[in-house]
Chains A and B, each alone.
Chain A
Amino acid sequence: MSEPSKPQGRKFQLPEHLKIYKNVWVIVEQERGIVHSVSLELLGEARKLADKLGVEVGAVVLGAESPDLNRICGDAIGYGADIVYKVTDPALADYRTDPYCRVMTDVVNTHKPEIVLLGATTLGRDLAGAIATTLATGLTADCTELDIYADNRSLAATRPTFGGTLLCTIQTLAYRPQMATVRPRVMAMPERDDARIGRVIEIQPDLREEDIVTKVLNFIADREQNEAQLAFADIIVSAGKGLGKVENMKLVFDLAKILGAEVGVTRPLVQAGWATNDRQVGQTGKTVRPKLYIAAGISGAIQHRVGMEKSDLILAINTDPNATIFDFAHLGLVGDALKILPALTDAFGRRLSVNRMAG
């Protein structure tokens, strides 16, 4: 457990009526029968928190009744839930803020969890901001670490702050539940355990479609991905300001092509218009955990670091031997990325093609 909490001299005393709030919940995000991976990652994290507190993990699955939804309830148990609250209504088929918020507010007020976690996705952030307001409680966005304070059993939610230059730990005072969102890929994916057992509590909120103002006219699925698939790439070659000019981005794309890798960039490059924001790695971009992350001309600002430090292997190339990135990269190469990138492309090309001929 974490060190004792010191909320800046403010007294922390949980009133009696809030002590009945128990268990750690994850609101499982599903759209059209597909579970967002962040929800499973959060179940793993909820399991750890619940074990520290000695309580149970609850998963809330919302949607219209369907075989997919039952499968998702089973998945939730396999990934760590003890109780699944299966909330079904035809009006919950598509995500809409109002019915989801109303239903979640009721379910939380009825079952009283002490912690509620959501993915920091478009759905999770939209819903979390609304529920925290109806419940009048604290919500911490985009956490990178969650822990429990030993002295008062409250949630220690750590997140980058000031545009990712520092980290801060936030706790919720005498309000329950404590809410937090976590971005995809920040937490490790737990192993699924098919032997796990759990119970399913069915909830039918009995919504009336005519009471819901917003209607979904259409859903246009993304075409087979023009966008960069950074979050799940095995290898990423990333570029920072050290590349000097936009023309040099070609060097990064060349190396990425040889490796079958995705290209990532730092925030300044997106701001300078060198790359689209779907390639941005960092606090305001994507969080990644590839097997290999090659950082070329990246100084290592915290804003970037929090998005990639969980990579299995980080190779940093920078002309400045004192660059911050060498503090947390695994391998460092002091040199000019503009010269080393093409050399790496050639060398990888040679090694891999030799093998092809041999094979």
Chain B
Amino acid sequence: MHIVVCIKQVPDSAQIRIHPVTNTIMRQGVPAIINPFDLFSLEEALRLKDKVGARVTVLTMGPPMAETSLRKALSLGADDAVLLTDRKFAGSDTLATSYALTSAIQKLSEEDPVDIVFCGKQTVDGDTAQVGPGIATRLGFEQLTYITRIEDLNTASKEIVVQRRSEGGVQVLKTKLPCMITMLEGTNTIRFGKMDDLFRAARYELKTWSRDFTGAEEGRVGLKGSPTVVSKVFVPKPRAEKAKMIVADADTPDAMAAAAIDAIFAAQPKLAGDLLARAAAGL
């Protein structure tokens, strides 16, 4: 059983700041982390490894600095790590990214056929949720997104039963390997690494692969291979009118609350009626 977990190194978005004058992103000093959604998939892969035995390879596409995220994944228990890095990949949108990652997964499959690809539900910086389905479609793997639980995995018959979150309920799906899985957040908790994995991760000789190596066509990656283009990045316009500030008779919470309610009811007379009717009905 060979499992590939695709991860992405992202800036810790909680710490991104916008330069007040130039309106550009201030990336300096923002720590890079493994996309938090990827950790649920990594943990699930490691649990399968514990349960049925599997080789877990982590794969990322990114600049050389993404190495730290791969080593982090190794320290948590992944067996192998591949860094797909090439200037030619720069500017790839989701279609080009899924193509590049697929070329690496196919390369991995040549040596040891891949049974399951795990991806994060989405990233916290791009938020598209498109790369996982893109990889599944390209590989012709069964696509299992928003999985809340892996009920059963039979390595002999290569069958898997999962629970999938959908609108209004949970689907129980049975399918065959190979498949691509994205885990829903909160479905597990990432483990702490063991000491010997930590040492192994530090010493591990990373596989660094280029576009040439995986055989990805030049015209299908990077800006050239991307159908979409960002035509404008901007800070949203402030509303023409700023908030009308509520002035209370006195500087006490009670006076402020009274003034606030008056202002709400003045702005939304219908809402006042609705609330009063609701109260009168004793709800």
Contact = CB atoms under 8 A, between A and B. Distances in A.
A352 B279 contact: yes
A283 B132 CA distance: 20
Interface stretch (A52-60, A68-76, A121-129, A200-208): A121-129
B174 A217 contact: yes
B227 A7 contact: no
Nearest to A161: B233
B166 A216 contact: no
Contacts, number: 289
B274 to A, nearest CB: 7
A31 B161 CA distance: 21
Interface residues of A, number: 107
Interface in B222-257: 223, 226-236, 238-239, 242-246, 253-254, 256-257
Contacts of B230: 8, 168-170
Contacts of B165: 122
Contact of B243 (A94, A128, A138, A329): A329
Which residue, of A125, A221, A359, has the highest number of chain B Cβ atoms within 10 A? A125
Interface in A62-111: 94-98, 101
Interface stretch (A19-27, A43-51, A188-196, A334-342): A334-342
Contacts of A352: 275-276, 278-279
Contacts of B238: 327-328
Contact of A330 (B95, B226, B244): B244
A327 B243 contact: yes
A305 interface: yes
A167 B236 contact: yes
Which residue, of B165, B231, B236, B239, has the highest number of chain A Cβ atoms within 10 A? B231
Contacts of B163: 220
Interface stretch (B49-57, B78-86, B141-149): B141-149
Contact of B25 (A125, A165, A234): A165
The B interface, classified by DSSP as helix, strand, loop or mixed, is mixed
Interface in B165-181: 165-176
Contacts of A209: none
B231 A214 contact: no
Contact of B235 (A139, A166, A267): A166
Given A133-B137, A167-B234, A168-B232, A213 B142 contact: yes
Nearest to A327: B238
B6 to A, nearest CB: 14
Contact of A97 (B14, B143, B245): B143
Nearest to B223: A10
Interface string A1-15: 000011110100000
Contacts of B95: 132-133, 136-139
B239 to A, nearest CB: 5
B168 A31 contact: yes
B127 interface: yes
A353 B279 contact: yes
Given A221-B169, A332-B243, A334-B245, A126 B16 contact: no
Given A129-B132, A162-B16, A284-B127, A31 B268 contact: no
Interface in B75-104: 93-95, 98
Nearest to B131: A129
A137 B227 contact: yes
The A interface, classified by DSSP as helix, strand, loop or mixed, is mixed
A13 B145 CA distance: 36
Contact of B167 (A31, A339, A347, A351): A31
B256 A219 contact: no
Interface in B147-201: 161, 163-176, 185-186
Interface in B247-275: 253-254, 256-261, 263-264, 267-268, 270-271, 274-275
B170 A356 contact: no
B16 A163 contact: yes
Contacts of A291: 268, 270-271, 274
B13 A163 contact: yes
Given A122-B166, A277-B185, A330-B267, A166 B133 contact: no
A249 interface: no
A305 B232 CA distance: 19
Interface string A304-331: 0100000011111100000001111111
Contacts of A141: 127-130
A348 B261 contact: yes
B172 A351 contact: no
Contacts of B176: 213
Contacts of A355: 276, 279-280
B18 interface: yes
Which 5 pairs, one residue from A and one from B, show the smallest C-beta to C-beta distance? A129-B133, A163-B13, A138-B227, A332-B243, A352-B279
